[in-house]
Amino acid sequence: MKLEYVFYIDTKPEQVWDVLVNPEKSFKAFMGGVIQSTYQVGDDIQFVGPGVDGDETVHIYGKLLQYEPNRILSYTDHPGPSHYAEHAQMESRVTLSLELVGACTKLHLINDQWTEDNPLFSKTEQYWWMILSNIKTIAETGRSLDLGF
């Protein structure tokens, strides 16, 4: 099982990267979550934001697999403990890569290596379109989409 998306964004990779890692922008792009990480390969990565456990609810956690600023972010992905009791057994891999194409940025996302019978696959398939569209809009305009959340 694999989810794969390609978006072309009318700005440089540095601006797209800023939307991914700058908490003020990523909070909007990831619908209320920000990345917490040392950004050292092998260390933990979490997407944290308001939720059932308060303002620091862990929505996604995993290990950082690759990190090259303005180019690639890859990590293992587990749902937060408050979302599923069996969160530790539910895993996939997310790889976001950025490439300059002309004066635009090609954002390529692959979400693969899903554990068998992972119930998040179909839900994630719906949300990536919204998240990636939001990243594109924020990088190009500075505004986030009103997705009704």
Average pLDDT rounded to a whole number, residues 125-144: 92
Structure tokens at 81: 């403990």
What does the radius of gyration of the chain's CA atoms come to, in whole angstroms? 15
pLDDT surpasses 70 at 24: yes
Provide the pLDDT for residue 125.
87
Please give the mean pLDDT across all residues of the chain.
92
Number of helices (H) and strands (E), helices first, in the chain?
3, 7
Q: Which CATH topology does 6-141 take?
A: Alpha-D-Glucose-1,6-Bisphosphate; Chain A, domain 4 (3.30.530)
* C-alpha closest to that of 127 among 145, 140, 115, 141: 145
Percentage, residues of the chain above pLDDT 90 = 62
Domain residue limits, the chain: 6-141
Instruction: Give every CB contact of residue 123 below 8 A, 6+ residues apart in sequence.
Output: none
Provide the pLDDT for residue 149.
63
Amino acid at 114: W
What CA–CA distance (Å, rounded) separates 5 from 98? Answer: 12
Structure tokens at 43: 């260390």
